[in-house]
Structures are given as C-alpha cells and as structure tokens.
Structure 1
C-alpha cells in the first residue's frame, strides 16, 4: 500500500500559463497562476519546494507539460498523468477546479503515472525520430522527381541505374 502524502501540488497546464494548487491533507489549499516563461517556471519550482510538497502531479496535455517536467525533474517527485485517466466529471470546468482535482487525486494516490523515459533516452528518441522524418521527406522528394521525369518522357532509368547515386552525379 502506498504511503499517504500530506502535501501535494496539482497542475493544470496551458500553452501560456499554468494553474497550480497545493493541497494539504487537512483540506487547506493554496492556488497560484504562473506563466510558462523560464523565469516564472523557476519561481513555480521554488514555490513548490518552499511549501514542502511531497509530490507534484501534472496532466499530460499536448507538449505543454514538457517545460514543467524539465524544471522539476530531479528536484521533486513528479507524476505525469494520462489526461484520459484523470478526467473530471462533465459540466462547468475551471482551471482552478482542474488543478484542485489533480491535486486531490495525487494526495490520495489515485494517479497512475505515465511512462517517461530517462533524459538520455528521450534525447536519443528525439534525434532518431527527427532523422526518420528527414529520410522520409528526402524519399518523397526523390519520388516526386522520378514522377516528374517519367511524366515528361525522360527515361533516365534506361541509361543511369540511380539518378541520385554516383552514376547520376555530374562531375
């Protein structure tokens, strides 16, 4: 059984700002709004640490959680929660209400953390995915050139084995 926490922080993150609620076991709350500039994120981190939060929970909304994760990584226990699994009841929602809801789920140990790869692995995955994208774009462009040449009745394949290889280079 997971140990109960006494003080946690729930974050509702958006493109330009985040709403954070520190929730105490006795029900006391402290909510603040921060922009997502580096300066404000560092103020947010300091605020969380100064208040002695045991854990921070954030909803994995698009890519907006990445800067918050980067600032808090290694400083405090952070849970990135799957948005689908922590949805609140339908109806009138507010940013403050959402951050309080996330904090309440965190306080009671009801959030299953998303899998976040270690920093080195994340960087390798980012580079690998970027390379895959570049190779795909290059292949698409080569296919367009082949198609344009074929539609213009320029049949280089009968003369050159690969127009983009050594035999296709003009020296």
Structure 2
C-alpha cells in the first residue's frame, strides 16, 4: 500500500553552519516525484534567495532539522512566507552509510511529503525574543549569586564575621562596612557611623566581627568581585 502524499510540493532543508542544502520534492497526479536541489550560503542575502527560490516553485511547506542554533536565521527568514516544520535531527536522520548533504535534504523532503515528521513547537517571534531575554536574565542572576558566594568566601577566609551580625551581608550597613574594610583591611576604623539604626547587633559586636585578618590578595579579589556585581 502506497503512502499518502500529504504535501505535493514541499522542501527538505539540511542545515549547516555555513550553508544549507534545499531539495524541493514535487509530486504529480500520477504519484511521480521530481526533485530540484540547490545549495545556499547562510548569509542573509542567500537566505533571501532561498525564500525567493521556494516562492518561484510554489513551495510553501518546508521541513528542516534543528541543527544547534543554525536553524534560527533560516527559520526567521522563511516563517513569513512558508509553513516551516522544525524537526529534531533524530527524527529525520538518514540511513547509515547513505548520508551526504544532498541526500539528507532529499530524505527530509521524502519523509515530509508523507507527513511522517513530528514537528517541534515554535512560539511566535515576539515570544521567542521574550524567552531569550528571560534566559539571559536567569544567567545574570546565576552569575550574581556566584559572585556573592565568592565575596562571602573572601570574608570567611579572612575571619570577618559579618554574616554573624547581619542577616544580609549585602545589605546597606554590611555593604558600607565592607567598603571600609577594603580601605582599611586591618579593621582599624569605627563601624558605628555605618550601622543602620534598625540593626539588631550592637556596635561593639559588629566591631568585633570586623576584627579579622584580610590580606592584600583577598582584598583585591573582593574589589574585583564587587566591580563584577556592580556591572550585573
């Protein structure tokens, strides 16, 4: 029993970093499929030519594999003029020993014309951009947490016990005292002017907490960490 042709005119695209190979599969009423193949670079101008080439052949149904991040510019270029199905590489993998760029594109077109490819969900462009920003925000937050941990480590190895007298080592009072510590690593300064009136710890206890042994190397490291935190 012959498989049903769902997409009489469709295209399979094999995506690489520097180029894509596109294969248009056109099936006539008798079930005979003819193929047209072209290779395009991934420069924007050539991707426009790809979109134009597909339009000239009346091809609006496209399937391509999601190769790394390289599929994104191709998808962005084609989504306004074509219905693009993005497939996981394991679902469009060619038979072992039969792989070439041209054959891969033809294989994708062949299985796609029978609607045998399970496409991935791709949200609209605006949502994709929002997701990208949110992922970046998560990474920045992770970097910030890491730098705070490193800053706390500098204080710990220097036996400066700010975490014993302040609930937040990066709060207003603790930060002001830390800045003074960087200016006076030996702790020879009065902490009272830098303690907020709502602080529960007494000035004497805070003074005892900053009596540590911060070497110049740890002080320099802490300065670098603070500059990183200020830029995040």
- Counterpart pick for 2:75 among 63, 69, 72: 69
CA offsets per residue over residues 88-139 of structure 1, 9 Å max, x none? 2111410000000001111111111111112222122111111111001100
Q: Is 1:15 the counterpart of 2:21 in the alignment? A: no
Query: 1 or 2 for the larger relative contact order (CA 8 Å, sep ≥6)?
Result: 1
TM-score, normalised via structure 1 length: 0.92
Where 1:109 maps in the other structure, the secondary structure is coil
- Counterpart pick for 1:27 among 9, 23, 33: 33
Q: Is 1:125 the counterpart of 2:131 in the alignment? A: yes
Q: In 2, distance between residues paired with 1:103 and 1:45?
A: 16
Q: Which runs of 5+ in 1 are unaligned?
A: none
TM-score, normalised via structure 2 length: 0.69
Aligned pairs, number: 170
Runs of 4 or more, structure 1, over 6 Å off, are none
**What pairs with 1:51-66 in structure 2 (closer than 5 Å)?**
51-66=57-72
Q: Which runs of 5+ in 2 are unaligned?
A: 177-193, 195-232
Task: Give the structure 1 partner of residue 95 of structure 2.
Answer: 89
Whether contact under 8 Å (1:161, 1:167) holds in the other structure is: no
Whether contact under 8 Å (1:6, 1:54) holds in the other structure is: no
Gap change, CA 1:3 and 1:95, over 3 Å in 2: closer
Where 2:95 maps in the other structure, the secondary structure is coil
